[in-house]
Amino acid sequence: MATQIEDVQAQTPESACPGMSMPKPQAEHAWLQRLVGEWTSEMEADFGDGRTTKVTGTESIRALGGFWIVGEGTGDGPDGAPATDMFTLGYDPQQGRYVGSWASSCMPFMRIYDCTMDANQRVLTLASDGPSFEVPGKTAKYRDIIEIIGDDQRTLSSNVLGEDGEWHEMMKMYFKRA
| Structural domain count, the chain | 1
What single string gives the DSSP state of each residue in the chain? -HHHHHHHHHTS-GGGSTTS-PPPP-HHHHHHGGG-EEEEEEEEE--SSS--EEEEEEEEEEEETTTEEEEEEEEE-TTSSEEEEEEEEEEETTTTEEEEEEEETT-S-EEEEEEEE-TTS-EEEEEEEEE-SSSTT-EEEEEEEEEEEETTEEEEEEEEE-TTS-EEEEEEEEEEE-
Whether the per-residue pLDDT at 74 is higher than 70: the answer is yes
pLDDT tens per residue across span 117-150: 999 999 999 999 999 888 889 999 999 999 999 9
Q: Which structural domain, as residue segments, surrounds residue 64?
A: 2-12+26-177
pLDDT tens per residue across span 158-173: 999 988 999 999 999 9
Q: The domain that contains 144 carries what CATH number? A: 2.40.128.20
Do the domain assignments include residue 67?
Answer: yes
Do the domain assignments include residue 31?
Answer: yes
Do the domain assignments include residue 20?
Answer: no
